[in-house]
């Protein structure tokens, strides 16, 4: 029976009920019509046991005489039996058996995987895909049909954001390319991917009601592109965000949910709310494009039916939403199917995926006098945190017994000469960080070691995002950024420090010298309005435009070997709008160790009519080379992708003229630069009657022909003169309704470009 056949058997009340979640992470079932319950769960770093137990077992646990407080304590200490009372241990044994039975006889030992920011630091689509596969398998193990927030591609705009660690990058290209690989990996296992939070959910403060004032250009260039790539990659679901955008809640925003998501991008899947994000009338949100309201029990079918009765919601819209829910269940509810691979293979596949991500995503920020790799790991003395923080709090938390402690991996050396200070900072959904400073207890430890003077000092940054290090950076010897690495973080860090693995992680966000230097610093809200005053100048775009030097730039990361770029060239010197620019180069590993390097290609428009960043990332590739090896490589980008959004015309436009190509290993580490010419760009921006008066008045040869055409056609030259004096940004075709008759001027403009 098809989804349409099932839909046709339902009455309006049943259809409306399908749009309303049943449990906190589950959908409605209509058994008599073959519609089964679907289990949703966060998500992007592994199985959230708090959600899983709460959704499946809480009712029967309470009926058995236990309290919800006991259940919560057992969940969070599921693998720390010493923290439980005797009664709680009994409950834990019962839950262990229940979960083992639930999974079909497999004991519960979930994996914990790196969040987006560490996956982003790999710059490797293949690694992200592998982690998506592992997460998909994890979902199949625990009978989860849809992995919520997998991926989270919200732009990393503001480093205080409590969920900063979940996103991939401050650059939409990196976030989009890597996010879509997560979608593909999850979907490859027959599990529905869920891209969130659509759109521009970039802070946690007042997230349910805050009104984000964002320019259309910033939305189009910065905050929407990563979502589009995930849609085109085949994500089954999209999660609408909490905030308002320019006065309209995302869950009620028809432009966002219908015009962009479905009409422009062609999305045919299911759009759900974030949990509790619909704060208005359910029927109005359904009419705006929401298909599923979460969490349950969402007992508001009456609002949907009332909207249908009032005509605010059409029957076609109700049918389409219900149909999407049915289709999702038919395709992704695989609870009756046998787990696809042996249990041991599943465990090892997840471990390898996580380890590879950590090995390629950990970023070496400093290595004075080549302190690392160490010749003897017994030189290490651990200071600071005893254990790594392997996940962020909130939706991303994962309870597991599969992560070794630092002491298990590194040992408990007392006589070493390398002090490794592990700085472990929390970050959580629902609240933002107060600042980017290190807590006093860590600062005292670091300062004490510096003053002592007998140790080499290495910082391990087990943090959610940028932190201020200016106070210590000149006095320490090394620093590794590991973010929240998941279950394999300690092993991967050990292998990098020992030299078994050559570090190749690169920053996908900029680390400032101080928080005040960040582009959005003055725009952090203290109420329910947030103005995105930096516009498109997020991250490195803002630092470069304002000429502010960061502590560590976008794209930065050290290696134990060295690389060189040579022989850079483009396949042509001139291009048209429909062309692809192919950039060839030779990359050589000039050191004595095998290693991987990320080559980053940026494009800049040095003479532009519209305000633009100094340069923007347009392509990248990660390449592994043996010591001494050279490879001939190519990166490419479409000319159509280098346009800028025009508020005047309501679309992307591309200026003609010369463009610069930058090729290097970080945004401030450019090895080669060359240029290409775009002969004819968007007609709206070509010199001619669409030009502003100011664009012509300082070009005497064009100004002269324009005046001649004005007089020849009997028009008033004084209108041009007045506009040049007082309103020079007015366009020629606005000043003169008959501008289409200025043939000689148009011809001269065309010839001007040809010179």
d(CA 702, CA 744): 10
Question: Three-state SS for 238?
Answer: strand
Alpha helices in 123-265 (DSSP H): 125-141, 172-187, 216-218, 225-232, 254
Backbone phi, then psi, for 654, in 5-degree steps?
-125, 125
User: 436 and 464 in contact (C-beta within 8 Å)?
Assistant: no
User: 442 and 421 in contact (C-beta within 8 Å)?
Assistant: yes
Backbone phi, then psi, for 8, in 5-degree steps?
-65, -15
199 prior amide bond cis, ω within 30: yes
Listed in sequence order, the residues at least 6 apart from 197 whose beta carbon sits closer than 8 Å to its beta carbon are 149, 152, 154, 239, 240, 241, 242, 250, 274
Strand arrangement of the beta sheet that strand 456-462 belongs to: 363-367, 478-481, 456-462, 418-424, 380-384
d(CA 135, CA 167): 16
Among candidates 151, 146, 220, which has minimal Cα distance to 179?
A: 151
User: 532 and 212 in contact (C-beta within 8 Å)?
Assistant: yes
Q: Following CA atoms 460, 463, 468, 470 in sequence, which dihedral angle do they give, to the nearest 10 degrees?
A: 10
User: 420 and 458 in contact (C-beta within 8 Å)?
Assistant: yes
Among candidates 602, 596, 586, which has minimal Cα distance to 562?
A: 596
Residue by residue, what is the 3-state secondary structure of 522-559? HHCCCCCEEECCCCCCCCHHHHHHHCCCCCECCCCCCC
Choosing from 42, 274, 358, 709, the catalytic residue is 274
Q: How far is CA 141 from CA 100, 190, 227, in A?
A: 10, 12, 28
Q: Does the active-site annotation cover 358?
A: no
- Residue numbers annotated as active site: 274
């Amino acid at each position: 029976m098809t989804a349409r056949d099932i839909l046709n058997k339902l009455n309006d009340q049943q259809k409306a009920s399908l749009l309303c979640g049943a449990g906190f992470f589950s959908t409605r079932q209509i058994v008599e019509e073959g519609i089964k319950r679907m289990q949703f769960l966060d998500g992007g770093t592994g199985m959230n046991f708090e959600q899983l137990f709460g959704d499946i077992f809480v009712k029967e646990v309470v009926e058995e005489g236990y309290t919800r407080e006991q259940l919560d304590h057992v969940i969070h200490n599921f693998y720390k039996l010493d923290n439980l009372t005797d009664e709680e241990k009994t409950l834990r044994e019962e839950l262990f058996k229940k979960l083992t039975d639930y999974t079909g006889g497999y004991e519960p030992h979930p994996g914990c995987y790196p969040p987006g920011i560490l996956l982003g630091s790999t710059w490797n689509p293949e690694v992200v895909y592998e982690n998506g596969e592992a997460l998909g398998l994890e979902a199949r193990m625990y009978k989860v049909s849809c992995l919520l927030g997998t991926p989270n591609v919200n732009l990393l705009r503001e480093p205080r954001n409590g969920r900063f660690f979940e996103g991939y990058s401050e650059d939409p290209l990196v976030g989009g390319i890597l996010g879509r690989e997560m979608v593909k990996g999850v979907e490859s296992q027959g599990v529905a991917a869920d891209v969130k939070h659509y759109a521009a959910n970039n802070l946690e403060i007042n997230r349910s009601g805050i009104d984000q004032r964002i320019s259309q250009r910033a939305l189009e260039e910065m905050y929407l592109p990563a979502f589009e790539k995930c849609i085109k990659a085949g994500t089954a679901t999209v999660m609408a965000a909490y905030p308002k955008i320019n006065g309209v809640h995302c869950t009620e925003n028809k432009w966002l949910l219908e015009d962009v998501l479905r009409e422009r991008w062609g999305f045919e899947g299911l759009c759900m709310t974030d949990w509790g994000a619909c704060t208005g009338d359910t029927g109005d949100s359904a009419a705006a494009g929401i298909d599923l309201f979460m969490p349950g029990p969402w007992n508001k079918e009456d609002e949907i039916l009332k909207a249908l009765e009032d005509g605010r919601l059409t029957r076609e819209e109700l049918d389409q939403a219900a149909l999407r829910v049915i289709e999702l269940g038919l395709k992704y509810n695989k609870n009756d199917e046998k787990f696809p691979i042996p249990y041991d293979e599943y465990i090892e596949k997840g471990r390898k995926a996580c380890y590879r991500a950590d090995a390629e995503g950990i970023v070496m920020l400093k290595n004075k006098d080549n302190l690392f790799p160490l010749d003897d790991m017994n030189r290490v003395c651990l200071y600071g945190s005893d254990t790594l923080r392997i996940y962020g709090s909130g939706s991303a938390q994962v309870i597991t017994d599969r992560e070794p402690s630092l002491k298990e991996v590194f040992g408990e050396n007392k006589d070493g000469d390398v002090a490794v200070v592990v700085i472990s900072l929390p970050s959580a959904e629902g609240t933002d960080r107060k600042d980017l400073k290190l807590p006093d207890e860590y600062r005292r430890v670091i300062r004490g070691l510096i003053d002592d003077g007998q140790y080499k000092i290495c910082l391990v940054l087990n943090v959610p995002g940028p932190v201020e290090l200016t106070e210590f950076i000149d006095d320490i010897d090394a620093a590794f950024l590991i973010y929240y690495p998941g279950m394999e973080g300690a092993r991967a860090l050990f292998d990098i420090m020992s030299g078994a693995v050559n570090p190749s992680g690169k920053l996908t966000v900029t680390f400032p010298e101080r928080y005040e230097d960040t582009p959005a610093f003055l725009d952090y809200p203290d109420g329910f309005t947030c103005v995105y005053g930096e516009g498109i100048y997020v991250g490195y775009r803002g630092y470069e435009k304002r000429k502010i030097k960061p502590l560590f730039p976008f794209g930065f990361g050290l290696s134990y070997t060295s690389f060189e770029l040579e022989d850079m060239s483009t396949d042509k010197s001139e291009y048209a709008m429909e062309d692809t620019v192919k950039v060839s180069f030779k990359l050589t590993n000039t050191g004595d160790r095998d290693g991987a390097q990320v080559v980053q290609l940026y494009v800049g428009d040095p003479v532009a009519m519209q305000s633009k960043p100094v340069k923007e990332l347009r392509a990248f590739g990660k390449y592994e080379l043996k010591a001494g090896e050279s490879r001939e490589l190519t990166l490419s980008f479409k000319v159509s992708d280098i346009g800028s959004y025009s508020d005047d015309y309501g679309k992307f436009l591309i200026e003609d003229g010369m463009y610069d190509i930058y090729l290097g290993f970080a945004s401030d580490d450019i090895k080669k630069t060359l240029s290409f010419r775009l002969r004819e760009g968007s007609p709206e921006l070509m010199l001619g009657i669409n030009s502003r008066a100011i664009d012509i008045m300082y070009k005497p040869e064009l100004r002269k022909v324009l005046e001649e055409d004005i007089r020849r056609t009997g028009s008033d030259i004084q209108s041009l003169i007045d506009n040049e004096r007082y309103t020079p940004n007015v366009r020629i075709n606005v000043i003169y309704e008959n501008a289409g008759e200025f043939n000689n001027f148009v011809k001269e403009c065309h010839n001007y470009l040809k010179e």
